[in-house]
Structure 1
Amino acid sequence: MKNLFILALAALSLASCKSKKAVDTETLPKDISLKPENNLSQQDDREDLTRIIREIDALIATEPCTDSSEWKFAAIGAKPCGGPSSYIAYPLKLEDEILPRIEHFTAMQTAFNKKYNLMSDCAMVMPPNGIRCEDGKAILVSGNSEESAIQ
């Protein structure tokens, strides 16, 4: 009798949890950031960030890298957990023009991360050890011998 009572209570509990509405999983986004009400403004904001970084890259590309002592690097961007998202090399002669743009991009990415409640791996991005010129492009040289071309 006791087992029958527990079984009836369990069945009643499960029945009460059943959804009354049918959910069409085909129309639901797979990622919360793809919700329809966020999708357009987030896409617009992401395009603004892409446009700014392309402008920075285009400005840097106007100067060929022939002597690494004439180049510096700076942190750029912001990870959601804090710290820069990467580093970028730039020619010293364009420093006054480029640094404000880098700061603007970083501030916009920080705001973007907060606006959309983004998360990241929270791993620190370490600064490079130096810069080397190769085929007219600045190459950031890191301590773990990974290299990245800047264009």
Structure 2
Amino acid sequence: MKTTIQDLAGASVCNGNFECLYIAFGSKPCGGPWSYLVYSTSIDTLKLTNLVDTYNQLEKMLNSECGRISDCAFVVPPQRLECKNNTCIAIY
């Protein structure tokens, strides 16, 4: 499922017609996402959002059921997004 999500987001392109966006991806055992996934509106964003929501919920459930642990470092979202060579880039 993770690969499907990453492939979908990776297929997106940006230019003057498409907006770059990001979404919290994954669920750390301490709370919060593992990372932020960058994509553009050139793809089916509703499909991506639904897949990511399901993935995040499943990972959260697995964390709880399996007693997983992680660092509790806060992962900051991108400060802004830029379009370079038709690819959305996160700027931190």
State, as a whole percentage, how many aligned pairs show the same letter: 27
State which of 20, 42, 50 in structure 2 corresponds to 1:100: 50
Q: Which runs of 5+ in 1 are unaligned?
A: 1-51, 143-151
Structure with greater proportional strand content = 2
1:66 to 8, 15, 36: 15
Relative to structure 2, which stretch is displaced further, 66-75 or 82-91? 66-75
* Structure with the larger RCO, 1 or 2 (CA within 8 Å, 6+ apart): 2
Contact residue 90 and residue 98 of structure 1 kept, 8 A: no
Structure with greater Cα Rg: 1
Runs (4 or more) in structure 1 with deviation over 4 Å come to none
User: 5+ residue gaps in structure 2?
Assistant: none
TM-score by length of 2: 0.84
Normalized per residue, the structure richer in helix is 1
Aligned CA distance change for structure 1 residues 84 and 56 (closer, same or farther; 3 Å): same
Aligned residue for 2:33? 84
Q: Give the TM-score taking structure 1 as reference length.
A: 0.54
